[in-house]
Amino acid sequence: MSEKISPLAPKEIAVVPPIAGVRLGAIEAGIRYKGRKDLMAIVFDKPAQVAGVFTRSKCSSAPVDWCRKRLKGGKARCVVVNSGNANAFTGKKGRESVRLSAEAASLAFGCRKSEVFLASTGVIGEPLDVSGFSEHLGRLQTLTREDGWQDAARAIMTTDTYPKLSTRRFEAGGREYSVTGMAKGAGMIAPDMATMLSFVVTDLPVAADILQKLLSKSVQGSFNAITVDSDTSTSDTLLAFSAANGARPIADAKDQRIKALRHALDEVLHELAMMVVRDGEGATKHVEINVKGAASAKSAKRIALSVANSPLVKTAVAGEDANWGRIVMAVGKAGEPAERDRMSVQFGEITVARNGERDPGYDEAATTAVMEKDFIPITIDVGVGNGKATVWTCDLTREYVAINGDYRS
Amino acid sequence: MSEKISPLAPKEIAVVPPIAGVRLGAIEAGIRYKGRKDLMAIVFDKPAQVAGVFTRSKCSSAPVDWCRKRLKGGKARCVVVNSGNANAFTGKKGRESVRLSAEAASLAFGCRKSEVFLASTGVIGEPLDVSGFSEHLGRLQTLTREDGWQDAARAIMTTDTYPKLSTRRFEAGGREYSVTGMAKGAGMIAPDMATMLSFVVTDLPVAADILQKLLSKSVQGSFNAITVDSDTSTSDTLLAFSAANGARPIADAKDQRIKALRHALDEVLHELAMMVVRDGEGATKHVEINVKGAASAKSAKRIALSVANSPLVKTAVAGEDANWGRIVMAVGKAGEPAERDRMSVQFGEITVARNGERDPGYDEAATTAVMEKDFIPITIDVGVGNGKATVWTCDLTREYVAINGDYRS
């Protein structure tokens, strides 16, 4: 946890309403940090339907491997998350830690091991000592509360400068429901997915397979459309739960209530993803890259990510420099179809380049005014077709280097 | 040109011997910089055979487009290069500037326009004013000298902190020949190719098509195996010339003399490429990434580049932190086959991870000693097959951000 709060932090942390039968708690387990909570659990009184999306890293962490397998059962009774150590690249020891954690959780929360979901975030490559987990989780069991969301969201932070919570209410079938989620992530953030943990719960009763479809789709416009530093984590985990206190899950994907959930879920995931970008390590600017006129949506996304991940574009934004030459460079290096002489670039509403050269009416002062804001939308028309995509990123500052450089000298 | 010389700069600038019939000169044309030379020409008394490799950017600059076309003729009489303005993304104006420059050069040096080669480096997107080129080149014509190499190498610098020259002598058919080259480049450097200009001349008489094959191959282990910031330029240009003062070019690729040239060319290009990496913007460390055990050489190169371009790996190296967890992360995100539990990582000679976890004999002090050096070889065995590759990069420092951030405030 950083001492310094991101200048892009929300004015206040969302207060999220409790969900019946969903209890959260966090304690100090002393895994790495001193004087803060670092072990968190979400406990479902009745089995919840569960869906998940994970990192595409070829070197996924032990907890990610565990969750992938457990997902097949479709049922969850708890999630246990620690910060400070990612339990990634820890070999046999890592698998053993995961097994022991699940055992401790199943005893503490009175459920099957197969209903325990796990996530870890922090340093990679150090063995995670879970010898104290039985005792810690036993104690944690007595501390979980329906209004424990904020406490839990704080416990999973690493280099985050603020806890990330989002909630939406929606009406479905004449009743009111909600979706509420938390996330952590600030560095090692790139699509597929961000280095990121996120846990989202709804009280609408939905079958696991439908929830999975909603989640896999929703992630495309949210966590899979953000990048801080192009570095994909070994540990990315997004889990969604339907905790309806035993109500029979909706099993028909065409049920009208699913549509209402989809909309709310999209909003919550998008808001959480934006919070992650706005807490990007060292970030001072929130940047939206819109690409249009591409050969396809896929091509547009590749171009947008090439721009969003370009160190030269990101450092220019940090310097409030409307350096569209670097944007063109980043479009060019993407290797996707682009018509140099039909390309246009806008910063905010201002067209700086048109038809492959500087716009005749280019106004330096007006453009600088756009760059001085903390949210900067950039729109690029690559002049080929109708494909479009949007991704979000932040700038690259000296602070990012300082945070990650661990300057020992 | 930076005031501060890279800490990785060579102790002294190579003194390169003249090549008969190859004259170089540089003058102040006031394109962007004050008080330094920014317009350079290499002139061949007799037509030289020419080969080239260019950026793969979809937004290549006007001079790149020009050279690509002229290459078909296979003959060159001069190269004219300016720094300060890349003449890239300049639309119709850019094409017109190129045409006028070639015209001015053909008059000044008494050759055909089609024998004029052009390169520009500097700001992208600003029109290049060439109205003074006729006069400048006329004057330059009187200044070219066979010993003008260093002067010319200085004139093409942008954010470079030192001129880059390399030379090798070789014996072929009982006679001594040489290959001599210059390069510029410090940022916007990534394979295919580096943001980079390089001009290499040999006095061995070689036909253009053979020279092209040698060059395309040699670039794989040199300029296409380096990355500073993953950003590929719009302007990358590598031209090779055989300037044999009218001697009949060798047209048989199997001629023994070609083999001798290949060896010398490989060395010169490799040395120039290393000079570019060691002059990477803000660089304090020269990093070699060796990947072995990959599914193929191509796969190994992708993994190596994923590691070399990872901001988190590069900032860790800047901080002299042997953070092998981030290396594993970068291997994982490459999307190439890798066996997590058979993977090993070495810094220098020290094995820090083996079989997917920290080496039992890991010694922090010994590893730190490796990280404190200015050349850091990292070897990764991904445990799948026999594919291997090596790429070179530098660290990512606050200085890189400062150089490219153009902090206006």
Q: Please judge whether A407 and B318 are an interchain contact, meaning their C-beta atoms are less than 8 angstroms apart.
A: yes
CATH code, B388: 3.10.20.340
Is the same domain home to B270 and B307?
no
Is 90 exceeded by the pLDDT of residue A182?
Answer: yes
- For A342, the closest chain B residue by CA position comes to B91
Say what the pLDDT of residue A324 is.
87
* End position of a domain, from candidates A215, A248, A278: A278
Question: Which among A127, A358, A401 has the least Cβ separation from residue B125?
Answer: A358
Q: Tell me: the pLDDT tens digits for A52-108?
A: 999 888 788 899 999 999 999 999 999 999 998 989 888 889 999 999 999 999 999
**Residue A135 binned pLDDT confidence (cut-offs 50, 70, 90):** very high
Is 50 exceeded by the pLDDT of residue B408?
Answer: no
Inter-CA distances, B387 with B146, B301, B337, Å = 44, 9, 11
Rounded to two decimals, the ipTM of the complex is: 0.79
Is 60 exceeded by the pLDDT of residue A409?
Answer: no
- For A397, the closest chain B residue by CA position comes to B401
Cα–Cα distance, A148 to B55 (Å, whole number) = 55
**pTM, entire model:** 0.85
Comparing B208-217, B242-251, B331-340, the range with the smallest average pLDDT is B331-340
Is 50 exceeded by the pLDDT of residue A277?
Answer: yes
Is the same domain home to B221 and B316?
no
* End position of a domain, from candidates A235, A251, A278: A278
Residues in B touching A90 (Cβ below 8 Å): 356-358
Residues in A touching B312 (Cβ below 8 Å): 187-188, 229, 231, 404
Q: Please judge whether B404 and A316 are an interchain contact, meaning their C-beta atoms are less than 8 angstroms apart.
A: yes
Residues A195, A202, A379, A393: which is the catalytic one?
A195
CATH code, A239: 3.60.70.12
Q: Give B70 to chain A, closest Cα distance, Å.
A: 21
Is 50 exceeded by the pLDDT of residue B192?
Answer: no
Is 60 exceeded by the pLDDT of residue B110?
Answer: yes
| Residue A340 is assigned to a structural domain of this protein | yes
Domain that holds residue A259: 22-278
Is 90 exceeded by the pLDDT of residue A110?
Answer: yes
Question: Which among B233, B328, B398 has the least Cβ separation from residue A329?
Answer: B233
Is the same domain home to A304 and A254?
no
Q: Count CA within 13 A, CB hemisphere, residue A235.
A: 31
Average pLDDT of B66-74? 94
Burial of B7 from C-beta contacts in 10 A (0-12 / 13-18 / 19+)? exposed
Average pLDDT of A29-52? 94
Residues in A touching B409 (Cβ below 8 Å): 320
**Three-class secondary structure of residue A16 per DSSP:** coil
| Residue B10 is assigned to a structural domain of this protein | no
Cα–Cα distance, A230 to B152 (Å, whole number) = 38
Comparing A21-35, A296-310, B190-204, B393-407, the range with the smallest average pLDDT is B190-204
| Residue B84 is assigned to a structural domain of this protein | yes
| Residue A366 is assigned to a structural domain of this protein | yes
Q: Please judge whether B332 and A188 are an interchain contact, meaning their C-beta atoms are less than 8 angstroms apart.
A: no
- For B371, the closest chain A residue by CA position comes to A408
Inter-CA distances, A9 with A110, A148, A270, A278, Å = 38, 21, 16, 7
Is 60 exceeded by the pLDDT of residue B138?
Answer: yes
Q: Tell me: the pLDDT tens digits for A214-273?
A: 999 999 999 988 887 766 677 889 999 999 988 999 999 999 999 999 999 999 999 999
Q: Please judge whether A58 and B328 are an interchain contact, meaning their C-beta atoms are less than 8 angstroms apart.
A: no
Q: Please judge whether B341 and A91 are an interchain contact, meaning their C-beta atoms are less than 8 angstroms apart.
A: yes
**Residue B1 binned pLDDT confidence (cut-offs 50, 70, 90):** very low
**Residue A192 binned pLDDT confidence (cut-offs 50, 70, 90):** very low
Average pLDDT of B329-334? 88
| Residue B9 is assigned to a structural domain of this protein | no
Is the same domain home to A210 and A359?
no
**Residue A187 binned pLDDT confidence (cut-offs 50, 70, 90):** low
Say what the pLDDT of residue A275 is.
93
Is the same domain home to A273 and A388?
no
Question: Which among B57, B190, B408 has the least Cβ separation from residue A320?
Answer: B408
Question: Which among B124, B333, B334 has the least Cβ separation from residue A325?
Answer: B124
Average pLDDT of A294-322? 93
Is the same domain home to A245 and A346?
no
Angle (CA) A151 A184 A37, round 5°: 35
| Residue A262 is assigned to a structural domain of this protein | yes
**Residue B187 binned pLDDT confidence (cut-offs 50, 70, 90):** low
Is the same domain home to B270 and B356?
no
Residues in B touching A400 (Cβ below 8 Å): 311, 315, 401
Q: Tell me: the pLDDT tens digits for B43-58?
A: 999 999 999 999 888 7
Q: Tell me: the pLDDT tens digits for B14-42?
A: 889 999 999 999 999 999 888 899 999 99
Hey, which residues of B are catalytic here?
195
Say what the pLDDT of residue B195 is.
54
Residue (of B271, B262, B299) closest to B389 by Cα position:
B299
Cα–Cα distance, B14 to B180 (Å, whole number) = 11
Cβ neighbors of B69 (< 8 A, separation 6 or more) are none
How confident is the prediction for chain A on average, in pLDDT? 91
Residues in B touching A189 (Cβ below 8 Å): none
Average pLDDT of B355-382? 92
Say what the pLDDT of residue B233 is.
73
* End position of a domain, from candidates A217, A247, A278: A278
Question: Which among B229, B335, B341 has the least Cβ separation from residue A312?
Answer: B229
Residue type present at position A335: G
Q: Give A117 to chain B, closest Cα distance, Å.
A: 22
The DSSP code for A129 is -
Is the same domain home to B267 and B303?
no
**Residue B112 binned pLDDT confidence (cut-offs 50, 70, 90):** very high
Is the same domain home to A112 and A215?
yes
Q: Which is higher by pLDDT, B341 or B265?
A: B265
Residue (of A204, A218, A217, A216) closest to A257 by Cα position:
A204
Is 90 exceeded by the pLDDT of residue B391?
Answer: yes
Q: Please judge whether B332 and A404 are an interchain contact, meaning their C-beta atoms are less than 8 angstroms apart.
A: no
Total domains, chain B? 2
Is the same domain home to B220 and B344?
no
Say what the pLDDT of residue A1 is.
43
Q: Tell me: the pLDDT tens digits for B230-260?
A: 666 778 899 999 999 889 999 999 999 999 9
Please report the DSSP string for A285-344 in residue order: -EEEEEEEEESSHHHHHHHHHHHHT-HHHHHHHHTT---HHHHHHHHHHT-S---GGG-E
Average pLDDT of B291-302? 96
- For A327, the closest chain B residue by CA position comes to B124
| Residue B96 is assigned to a structural domain of this protein | yes
Say what the pLDDT of residue A230 is.
65
Residue (of A63, A69, A67, A105) closest to A87 by Cα position:
A63
Is the same domain home to A229 and A324?
no
| Residue B13 is assigned to a structural domain of this protein | no
Is the same domain home to A101 and A144?
yes
Q: Tell me: the pLDDT tens digits for A344-360?
A: 999 999 999 998 888 98
Q: Please judge whether A93 and B357 are an interchain contact, meaning their C-beta atoms are less than 8 angstroms apart.
A: yes
**Residue A8 binned pLDDT confidence (cut-offs 50, 70, 90):** confident
Say what the pLDDT of residue B194 is.
37
